[in-house]
């Protein structure tokens, strides 16, 4: 009953996509050539051959080196524009896009180069009928001091992004490591979200820190919350958004987590479906909805409920939400 066309055409909000994770092999090769970067691959087939991972650490080991091809402001613009065109084809109406400044500033690329290129693409996205904005993520496996510096550098641009997030390797990197940065960001009126990747060590403790201490508005992935009924109850009552990414979870945890998604949907949690790193995990947002719907035999009503949750959990105004709900 739920077709590929249905999942593609349904109006959606994309709340969990890493712009660096939308770097397709073709653009990677093109930018490597333009910028004279040695990446060890010369053909699409060779790039595809390099896409081998089965957990978070092995994925990140492929993911970060690929970003070396992004040098100029125009490279960031082109990356984001290519993503936004794919998003438009998937009927994404609103996109809140993660970017990882430290993955670039650590290679000597200026923060202003990254954000200016990405921001220019979000402006041009209006012509595609997409309302797009940016979320700046801290890399949790880097130091607090690095996060502090990054936030300091970002604050002069605070009207150019809507919130902060937390991503990269979760192992031994609990949310409270960045308590100060989250507080400062909130004081400046920024929204807050953070990854609690599926099946990570101490995942429930991390989710509890995020909800009780930091006061996040969303949790990225976070489906392990089903193990704690009190936290599920809290998330439902407080309209905490959970952004689940089936194709990513299938790579990282060999499980799309459909059972957890359905249980949370049933319990009234604002859970929705997203694409994480679509160039790496085999599909954009429509593909993620379709894969989940196929595997778990979802009804149209369930798919529509997930898509409506994506607008409810988004950071658009109540008036804009009324338009989509």
Binding residue positions: 16, 18, 195, 276-277
- Name the minimum Å distance from CB 280 to Zn ion: 11
276 contributes a contact to Zn ion by CB under 5 A = yes
218 contributes a contact to ligand ES4 by CB under 6 A = no
The binder of 168, among Zn ion, ligand ES4, none, by C-beta within 5 to 8 A per type, is ligand ES4
Q: How far is CA 211 from CA 191, 195, 196, 244, 262, in A?
A: 14, 12, 11, 17, 21
Residues 172-211, mask of contacts with ligand ES4 (x by CB under 6 A): -----------------------x-x--------------
Among 109, 252, 253, 265, binds ligand ES4 (CB under 6 A): 252
248 contributes a contact to ligand ES4 by CB under 6 A = yes
Evaluate the CA torsion angle 263, 266, 270, 272 in order and state its sign.
Answer: positive
- Name the minimum Å distance from CB 237 to ligand ES4: 27
> In this structure, are residues 81 and 118 in contact, taking their beta carbons and an 8 Å threshold?
no
Name the residue nearer to Zn ion (CB basis): 147 or 166: 166
Concatenating the DSSP letter of every residue in 41-96 gives --SHHHHHHT---SSHHHHHHHHHHHGGG--SHHHHHHHHHHHHHHHHHTTEEEEE
Give binding residues for substrate as ranges. 277
- Name the minimum Å distance from CB 300 to Zn ion: 27
18 contributes a contact to ligand ES4 by CB under 6 A = yes
Number of residues counted as binding ligand ES4 (CB under 6 A): 11
Name the residue nearer to ligand ES4 (CB basis): 240 or 252: 252
**Residue whose C-alpha is closest to residue 6's, from 311, 307, 255, 246:** 307
Rounded-to-5 percentages of helix, strand, coil across the chain? 60, 15, 25
Name the residue nearer to ligand ES4 (CB basis): 78 or 170: 170
- Name the minimum Å distance from CB 17 to Zn ion: 8
Q: Map tokens 């996205």 to a residue.
A: 125
In sequence order, the 6+-apart residues with CB closer than 8 A to the CB of 133 are: 95, 96, 97, 122, 161, 162, 315
> In this structure, are residues 272 and 15 in contact, taking their beta carbons and an 8 Å threshold?
yes
Give residues in contact with Zn ion (CB under 5 A): 276
Give residues in contact with ligand ES4 (CB under 6 A): 18, 21, 56, 167-168, 195, 197, 248, 252, 276-277
């Amino acid at each position: 009953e739920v077709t590929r066309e249905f999942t593609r055409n349904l109006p959606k909000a994309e709340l969990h996509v890493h712009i660096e994770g939308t770097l397709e092999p073709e653009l990677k090769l093109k930018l490597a050539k333009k910028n004279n970067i040695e990446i060890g691959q010369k053909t699409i087939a060779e790039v595809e051959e390099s896409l081998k991972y089965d957990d978070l650490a092995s994925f990140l080991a492929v993911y970060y080196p690929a970003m070396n091809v992004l040098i100029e402001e125009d490279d960031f613009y082109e990356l984001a524009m290519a993503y936004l065109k794919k998003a438009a084809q998937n009927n994404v109406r609103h996109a809140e896009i993660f970017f990882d400044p430290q993955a670039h500033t650590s290679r000597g690329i200026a923060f202003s180069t990254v954000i200016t290129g990405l921001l220019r693409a979000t402006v041009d996205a209006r012509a595609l009928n997409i309302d797009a904005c940016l979320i700046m993520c801290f890399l949790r496996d880097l130091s607090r001091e690095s996060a502090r510096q990054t936030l300091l550098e970002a604050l002069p641009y605070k009207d150019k992004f809507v919130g902060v997030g937390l991503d990269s390797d979760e192992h031994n990197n609990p949310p409270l490591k960045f308590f100060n940065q989250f507080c400062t960001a909130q004081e400046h009126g920024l929204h807050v979200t953070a990854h609690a990747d599926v099946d990570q060590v101490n995942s429930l403790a991390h989710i509890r820190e995020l909800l009780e201490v930091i006061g996040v508005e969303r949790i990225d992935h976070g489906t392990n919350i089903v193990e704690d009924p009190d936290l599920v109850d809290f998330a439902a009552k407080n309209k905490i958004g959970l952004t689940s990414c089936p194709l990513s979870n299938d790579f990282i945890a060999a499980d799309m987590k459909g059972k957890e998604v359905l249980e949370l949907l049933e319990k009234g949690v604002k859970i929705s479906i997203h694409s994480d790193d679509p160039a790496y995990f085999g599909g954009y947002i429509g593909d993620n909805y379709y894969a989940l719907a196929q595997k778990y035999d979802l009804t149209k009503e369930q798919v529509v409920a997930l898509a409506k949750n994506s607008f409810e959990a988004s950071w658009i105004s109540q008036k804009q939400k009324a338009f989509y709900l």
